[in-house]
Amino acid sequence: MPEFPIRLTAGGEGEQVAEVEGHGLFTKVLIDVLQEMLKNQTPLTVTAPQLYDAILRRVPSESGKNQHPAFGQLENLRGHVLF
């Protein structure tokens, strides 16, 4: 598991990310995954690696293998990071 701070991005470097239903595919899948987790677990406790694993199972296949979310340690951190 990477040390903090971490990054979770919609796609790999240089990839064009897919848009669906008015927003990005990554955002759609993230919302779907969180809603599914919330239905199955109360209170909701999820780690970043668990969230990434769930997203990674869906985004590449739903994008035709054109989009690959990335997870790891932030490098060259500049500016503000909000979540």
| Per-residue pLDDT in tens (0 to 9) along the chain, 83 residues | 545 677 888 998 888 899 988 889 999 999 999 999 888 876 778 888 899 999 999 999 999 999 999 998 876 655 555 45
| Nearest partner of 16 among 67, 58, 59, judged by Cα | 67
pTM attached to this predicted model: 0.77
CA 66/CA 83 separation, integer angstroms? 25
Q: To 5 degrees, how large is the angle CA 64–CA 29–CA 79? A: 105
pLDDT at 80: 53
CB of 52 within 8 A of CB of 73?
A: no
The DSSP secondary-structure symbol of 65 reads T
Q: To 5 degrees, how large is the angle CA 54–CA 9–CA 11? A: 90
